[in-house]
Amino acid sequence: MRRRAFRVWPMLAAFLLLPGLASSQAKQENPTLVISGRPGAAKVVEMNGRSFVEIDALARLLNGSLRFNGDQIVLTIPAPGAGASAAQPKAPPFSKDFLKASVEAMTAIREWQSGLASDVQHGYPLPDDWMSNSRIQASRNLSLASVAATTDNDRSALRLLSAEFNDMEQLSDSILAASKARQNIPTDRMNKDPLNDRILSCAHSLASIISSEKFVDDGTCY
């Protein structure tokens, strides 16, 4: 049967009798019912030496619900612990260790890209050892970010970070191969390379994700 919320009818107020309450305590002005371990209170009405509380107020106090079943009013109360799990604070979208490791990986890739772009732009020889060290450092930092990825958002951002590393590796290998083959490398080669454009766009996207701590895949890293 479909559950629905019950509200007191304008012409009829439903009350729950609290037996013995009036006789076990001194009469007080505007008494309230408080349930241990739960927030809030329900107003108690005293009539003819007895104490009553509105059913809908009691249902709210117990985080329950009311429904009609023929000539019955059914009060449903959540199982113990059901509300506690819902009240637990949400886990952060990114773990702190991943944020730190991803920033270090992004920094290594950025330094790799900017160093390569500077050498190409100025027509400098491309030192093989520097290129190799840049690749190793970026790869090491990416591995650390992979180990630190523990949440779903961590792993989603890691996929973009891995794509960024793969693109940078491909661009670096392409230019280094041309250099070793003594091919002419135009000084504006990086500015005209779509792969380099994607690397830069992906870097901006990753920086926005990390700074806002909110994962959004805008498709720029693929």
> pLDDT in tens for each of the 222 residues of the chain?
444 444 433 333 444 555 544 444 445 566 777 777 777 777 777 777 777 777 777 777 777 777 777 777 777 877 665 554 545 556 578 999 999 999 999 999 999 999 999 999 998 888 888 889 999 999 999 999 999 999 999 999 999 999 999 999 999 999 999 888 888 889 999 989 999 999 999 999 999 999 998 899 999 998
- Amino acid 98: pLDDT: 95
- Amino acid 16: pLDDT: 53
- Amino acid 207: pLDDT: 93
- Amino acid 14: pLDDT: 44
What is the Cα–Cα distance from 157 to 95, expressed in whole angstroms? 11
b/e sequence 43-72, b meaning 16+ C-beta within 10 Å: ebeeeeeebbbbbbbbbebbeebbeeeeee
Residue that has been written with the tokens 């107003």 in this structure? 43
Q: What is the pLDDT of residues 143-199, one digit of tens each?
A: 999 999 999 999 999 999 999 999 999 999 999 998 888 888 899 999 899 999 999
Helix, strand, coil distribution of the chain in percent, nearest 5 = 50, 15, 35
What is the Cα–Cα distance from 164 to 221, expressed in whole angstroms? 6
- Amino acid 109: pLDDT: 97
What is the Cα–Cα distance from 15 to 5, expressed in whole angstroms? 16
